[in-house]
Amino acid sequence: MKFFVDTADVQAIAELNDLGMVDGVTTNPSLILKSGRDILEVTKEICGIVSGPVSAEVVALKADEMIAEGRKLAAIAPNIAVKVPLTWDGLKTCKVLSGEGFMVNVTLCFSANQALLAAKAGATFISPFIGRLDDINMDGLDLIGDIRTIYDNYDFKTQILAASIRTANHVKDCALIGADVVTAPPSVIKALASHVLTDKGLEQFMADWAKTGQKIL
């Protein structure tokens, strides 16, 4: 499974990228706001750090304007994936831009039917939002499973990019279901390494090592 990091924080991206933990990056208007930087500037910098897809989102609501914005974003670097919302205009935009050879990430997906439409429109990635479904007492992981089944039934090439990842368990469960990609904040990716028994075992090893009075260096 591929790991995308969901942030516009270039330092966090570079740190994870150096460890080989980043296969791509996703951004959105909220993350751009949090970065406090110009979207074109920060996106270009991110594209220079990672070799994989970097999702940059359009902000227009009508297809013609979305297409124009998408082309401008795609011109930043060859590894840009233009991010469009799962609306009818977003699907029109996806069809045009994917037909022009650009990667397209269709975002804000909350149903299997939406995911089916995105695949038909030629999306490179579909981004179902797990955490936001959990927030309204629906099981976001069920949606990942439904999309996986539908895509496998018809051999759709669109990759399932599980988004709105809140916990380490979300990552594990997405991997078990067969999501192609998860995109998560740096804190969640780092949390995958944590386990209370690892901490407890290390504490015991260090205590025993201190009693030996030895040094390696």
- Point out the residues that are catalytic: 83
Cα-trace Rg, the chain: 20
Contact 158, 120 (CB under 8 A): no
Specify whether the CB–CB gap between 120 and 65 falls below 8 A. no
Cα dihedral 144/145/150/151 (nearest 10): 60
Q: Give which of 115, 163, 106, 107 is closest to 140, Cα–Cα.
A: 163
Angle between helices 168-177 and 140-154 (to 10 degrees): 20
Residue 208 burial by Cβ neighbours in a 10 Å radius (0-12, 13-18, 19+): exposed
Spell 133-171 as b/e; 16+ CB within 10 A means b: bbeeeeebbebbbbbbeebeeeebebbbbbbbbbebebb
